[in-house]
Structure 1
Amino acid sequence: MASNGLITDLYQLTMANALFKKGMHERKVVFDRFYRKNPFDGGYTVVAGIQHLVDFVKNFRYDAEDIEYLRSLGIFYPEFLDYLKDFRFHGDIYAMPEGTVAFPGEILLRFHGTTTEAMLIETGLSMIMNHESLIATKARRVRTVAPKDALMEFGLRRAQGHSAGLWGARAAMIGGFNGTSNVEAGCLFGIPVLGTMAHSWIMSFDTELEAFEEYVRQYHDNLILLADTYNVLEMGVPHAIQVFKELKAKGQLPKKYGIRIDSGDLGYLSREATRMFTEAGFPDAIISGSNDLDEYLIQSLKEQGCTVTSWGVGTKIITADGTSALGGVFKMSAREQGDGFEPVMKISNDVSKMTNPGIKTVRRFYRKDNGKMITDLICLENEAKPDGGDFTLVTESAKWRKKYLKAGKYTCEEMLKPVMRNGEAEPLPTLKETIAYANEQMETLWPEYKRLMNPNIMEVNLSDKLQALKTQIIEDDLKNR
């Protein structure tokens, strides 16, 4: 694998260089990865990018050309550049599994390593999780409005670069899509590859009917014919019916057949096409639709009686239209002090920018009777896990607001799982297992959180001990000013 050590911001290298000079570069630290606001004004975020992230971190290194480039900048100590030659990550990473439904403020990933490791790896780690979680979340929003329909990702030509198209296709699968047009993604990740024809196929022949007939001869088992090159209802659908009648007469009509409409009013055209196919004796004909679709348009079309049951979604998925970036951040929460760690936190005039101190974990509570999610709790890692007895959660900003969990009525799950130990990757779920888990996660979420408009926002609670630690650090800071 090619070196990837230059996939970082300059200030990460200059900070590490300066700490190296002071002998502080291998101080042990803990960092938290979280975000402050759901994308698309939604009620949740879908975690994605862990597999990519692990591959990135375990292969993070500098080759001779990288070192020479950094030397040419004239700002790094020669001894630091020598140190980078053998740089490898030797720490631990804990993360929510891909496909997990997550909420603002809670820890998606906890990073244990040296200061240098945290600084150099932060940018690439953030880039990967921000991008892929954003795409997975957008895809899941589409899946929620088309729960039983076929969804195909085909945004590669509109993706903002090769990597975005490749890993975006994988993220879309975690978000609930059925397949992709991206052949490379299909090969690398085992994703079903889907697609039939473009307008260029139709226009390569003298007539649309001739194009359909030739396609039937060569790809008989996948007969989704593109019907809008000229006129959907006057030419496309009648020509498709003619082809299907000929196949039916020969006993050769495949199980999967129909048309795709890529322009015009999908609501009206799909209803009319379905009527024409049904009257001609083809009530099972698939109507596939595409053309700058997103969750809002698909929801609106379905409300209007659109008969499309197979959707091709490209640009709006692969570019995460509606939210240009997921604002995930990576903040230090603890640093080595003597034989242990001392908690640290960012204290800001902007309350939303303050962080939670200490080495923490996330615990999720579910109702025992129906498996639905109750809430999440951020607590110190060494706090005892609830034993199933009565348990109370207190809102940090409003102490009078409390959640009372009755004994025997809930279950509790640790959400952060080890993905790297001592710099080595832990076994991760397959993509198939991740997709199944992602679907299960959405089933635990109440409908109010899935709404496209004005969804409920999950309150993530802090444990009493974490709230007390946070208060103490703030008070100590005020005394020392």
Structure 2
Amino acid sequence: MNPITPTQQRELVCSTALFTDLYQLTMMQGYWLEGMHTQPATFDLYYRKQPFQGGFAVWAGLEPALDYLESLRFSAQDLEYLASLNLFRADFLEALRDWNFGGTVTAFREGRIVFPHVPLLSVTAPLWEAQLVETALLNSLNFQTLVATKAARCVIAAQGSPYGGQVVEFGARRAQGPNGALSASRASFVGGATGTSNVEAGLRYGLPLSGTHAHAWVQSFGSELEAFRAYARTYPDDAVLLLDTVDTLQSGLVNAITVAHELREQGHELRGVRLDSGDLAYLSRRVRAGLDEAGFPDVKIVASNDLDEQVIASVIAEGGRIDVYGIGTQLATAGGNGGGALGGVYKLAALNGQPKMKLTGDPIKSNVPGDKRVWRGRDADGLLAYDVLTLGEAPQTGERVSDPTNPLRASRLPELTWEDAREVVMRGGQRTFPADNLTTIQARALAELGQLQEGSLRLLNPHGYKVSLTQDVAELRDHTSEEIRADKVGV
């Protein structure tokens, strides 16, 4: 069956133009009353700190965000509700009746590998339009980028085994509500997961489904062997048996091997067994040895039980023999060290042709003003080496660049091959290209992960990827900062 339609998929992002924070709407009205609402504005969306103390992030959530922008309208019901709040003038609400998003969006294509302080997406539109969409864009892009990054880290850990290893998302029951579960399933696939247990996600996105049975299945029969036989009768070519309801090695493994022989006699093969508790490294070695000795080397071992990339790496380091890692809580909630939230922000960079900058006591929270381009440099081996922000053309070999968080940290650019890293993905409120399917997006992510320097892939203490500003961007930032300070002190 084909995935559901793009219109149905939009329900995952939001159902109305009211999926926003109240202050976006009050600012819209203020801009309108001040006659500022049509001034052209550019907002940059970026994040400041790598999640999970890692070396990269996987950009995810763009396609749902573009769906949202294309369909963004105020319905009669929306306007009726806003009127009931007694905050908005009738003539302002009337102005919203035929309102739609008509801006331009420049962004990295979904699935690309991204880094802090780089504008991942820029919206250029009349001020009130660009202002309204902040909340929904951050909601879609922050969470899905975080989960896709977590999935990629788990995949990297699983592939550290000499026997290989796949990651499947099992997290619906621990996710932040239905939409959080669906977003997590989608983003996990972008990051490299091979499937999901979430059936609705399978329908919406065409994702491969994966699942076994619960302990309750075994408990519902007179014995574990009877339960295994019943499951194998029902799914003779797709049976994965859960081994740890009674005793993993003394009961579960023994009974699974018995059923595997019975299936083979009937012309079928046991597909797999699952471990859901205990010492996964030790148990998986023993189970693998038992299956191999019994003549079933192709039966896969699936593991679950609160896994993440650190647990996977530990299991592999101890000689574990797991083929498929079913990751639930830590993937669907993007938990773990440095997880929880990406912290992406959406900041005004230009208004009416003038650079705009947030100046604050915390320098890391100051944005880089102006309309910028992002150039990505590759070394002679085709590996990612630098992201550089400019006001125009590509940077040059030997050009002086500086760190966006520390102007004193400057360097000269080596000889690299440069590409314009972002594309105009929406113009006039309409996509400029057909929507990418998830298989294409996942392939893009996996390919670009393969182009990272090896040190950037480390789970602990990774190599820091270089992001820099050319001198004209740095000078614009300094000049804008000086103007703001001068205005503040009245000189």
Q: Which range, TM-score by smaller chain?
A: over 0.9
Residue identity matched to 1:425:
R
The equivalent residue for 1:239 is 255
Distance verdict in 2 for CA 1:28–1:401, change over 3 Å: closer
Of 385, 404, 407 in structure 1, the residue corresponding to residue 394 of structure 2 is: 385
The equivalent residue for 2:423 is 417
Q: What SS does the corresponding residue of 2:133 show, helix, strand or coil?
A: helix
The equivalent residue for 2:305 is 291
Give the CA deviation at 1:247: 2.6
Of 405, 410, 419 in structure 1, the residue corresponding to residue 414 of structure 2 is: 405
Do the aligned partners of 2:20 and 2:133 also contact (CA within 8 Å) in 1? Answer: yes
Of 265, 271, 281 in structure 1, the residue corresponding to residue 285 of structure 2 is: 271
Residue identity matched to 1:220:
P
Q: Aligned partners of 1:82 and 1:156: how far apart in 2?
A: 41
Give the CA deviation at 1:285: 2.3
Q: What SS does the corresponding residue of 1:111 show, helix, strand or coil?
A: strand
Q: Aligned partners of 1:401 and 1:110: how far apart in 2?
A: 26
What is the aligned-residue identity percentage?
A: 40
CA RMSD of aligned residues (A): 1.6
The equivalent residue for 1:154 is 170
Do the aligned partners of 1:395 and 1:402 also contact (CA within 8 Å) in 2? Answer: yes
The equivalent residue for 1:472 is 479
User: Does 1:347 find its partner at 2:354?
Assistant: no
Residue identity matched to 2:420:
E
Q: What SS does the corresponding residue of 1:395 show, helix, strand or coil?
A: strand
Give the CA deviation at 1:195: 1.1
Q: Which runs of 5+ in 1 are unaligned?
A: none
Cα displacement string for residues 227-263 of structure 1 (whole angstroms, at most 9, x for unaligned residues): 111111111100111111223344x243x62210111
User: Does 1:205 find its partner at 2:221?
Assistant: yes
Do the aligned partners of 1:419 and 1:428 also contact (CA within 8 Å) in 2? Answer: no
Do the aligned partners of 1:390 and 1:404 also contact (CA within 8 Å) in 2? Answer: yes
Q: Aligned partners of 1:314 and 1:400: how far apart in 2?
A: 41
Give the CA deviation at 1:391: 4.0
Of 51, 60, 70 in structure 1, the residue corresponding to residue 72 of structure 2 is: 60
Q: Aligned partners of 1:158 and 1:216: how far apart in 2?
A: 29
Q: Aligned partners of 1:390 and 1:356: how far apart in 2?
A: 23
Q: Aligned partners of 1:32 and 1:216: how far apart in 2?
A: 54
The aligned runs of 1:133-212 (5 Å cut-off) are: 133-147=145-159, 148-212=164-228
User: Does 1:303 find its partner at 2:325?
Assistant: no
Deviates most, 214-223 or 241-250: 241-250
TM-score when normalising by structure 2: 0.92
Give the CA deviation at 1:181: 0.7
Of 99, 107, 116 in structure 1, the residue corresponding to residue 119 of structure 2 is: 107
User: Does 1:90 find its partner at 2:96?
Assistant: no
Of 447, 452, 458 in structure 2, the residue corresponding to residue 451 of structure 1 is: 458
Give the CA deviation at 1:271: 1.1
Residue identity matched to 2:454:
P
Cα displacement string for residues 320-346 of structure 1 (whole angstroms, at most 9, x for unaligned residues): 11222110000011111xxxx111111
User: Does 1:442 find its partner at 2:453?
Assistant: no
Do the aligned partners of 1:155 and 1:317 also contact (CA within 8 Å) in 2? Answer: yes
Residue identity matched to 2:239:
L
Do the aligned partners of 1:393 and 1:461 also contact (CA within 8 Å) in 2? Answer: no
Do the aligned partners of 1:151 and 1:178 also contact (CA within 8 Å) in 2? Answer: yes
Q: Aligned partners of 2:37 and 2:284: how far apart in 1?
A: 63
Q: Aligned partners of 1:94 and 1:81: how far apart in 2?
A: 29
Cα displacement string for residues 262-306 of structure 1 (whole angstroms, at most 9, x for unaligned residues): 111111111111121122222232111100101111111111111
Give the CA deviation at 1:206: 1.2
How many residue pairs align between the two structures? Answer: 467
Give the CA deviation at 1:475: 2.7
Do the aligned partners of 2:385 and 2:466 also contact (CA within 8 Å) in 1? Answer: no
Do the aligned partners of 1:95 and 1:108 also contact (CA within 8 Å) in 2? Answer: yes
The equivalent residue for 1:315 is 329
Do the aligned partners of 2:155 and 2:166 also contact (CA within 8 Å) in 1? Answer: no
Q: Aligned partners of 1:358 and 1:195: how far apart in 2?
A: 50
The equivalent residue for 2:402 is 395
Q: What SS does the corresponding residue of 1:384 show, helix, strand or coil?
A: coil
Structure 1 moving runs of 4+ over 6 Å: none
Give the CA deviation at 1:360: 0.7
Q: Aligned partners of 2:325 and 2:147: how far apart in 1?
A: 17
Q: What SS does the corresponding residue of 1:29 show, helix, strand or coil?
A: strand
Do the aligned partners of 1:4 and 1:59 also contact (CA within 8 Å) in 2? Answer: no
Cα displacement string for residues 329-382 of structure 1 (whole angstroms, at most 9, x for unaligned residues): 00011111xxxx1111112221111111111111110113x21111110111xx
Give the CA deviation at 1:400: 6.8
Of 67, 70, 73 in structure 1, the residue corresponding to residue 82 of structure 2 is: 70
Q: Aligned partners of 1:175 and 1:18: how far apart in 2?
A: 41
Give the CA deviation at 1:434: 0.8
Do the aligned partners of 2:236 and 2:263 also contact (CA within 8 Å) in 1? Answer: no
User: Does 1:4 find its partner at 2:16?
Assistant: yes
Residue identity matched to 1:267:
A
Distance verdict in 2 for CA 1:295–1:456, change over 3 Å: same
Q: Aligned partners of 2:351 and 2:49: how far apart in 1?
A: 27
Deviates most, 105-114 or 239-248: 239-248
Q: What SS does the corresponding residue of 1:419 show, helix, strand or coil?
A: strand
Of 230, 239, 242 in structure 2, the residue corresponding to residue 214 of structure 1 is: 230
Q: Aligned partners of 2:464 and 2:393: how far apart in 1?
A: 27
Q: What SS does the corresponding residue of 2:240 show, helix, strand or coil?
A: strand
Do the aligned partners of 2:57 and 2:146 also contact (CA within 8 Å) in 1? Answer: yes
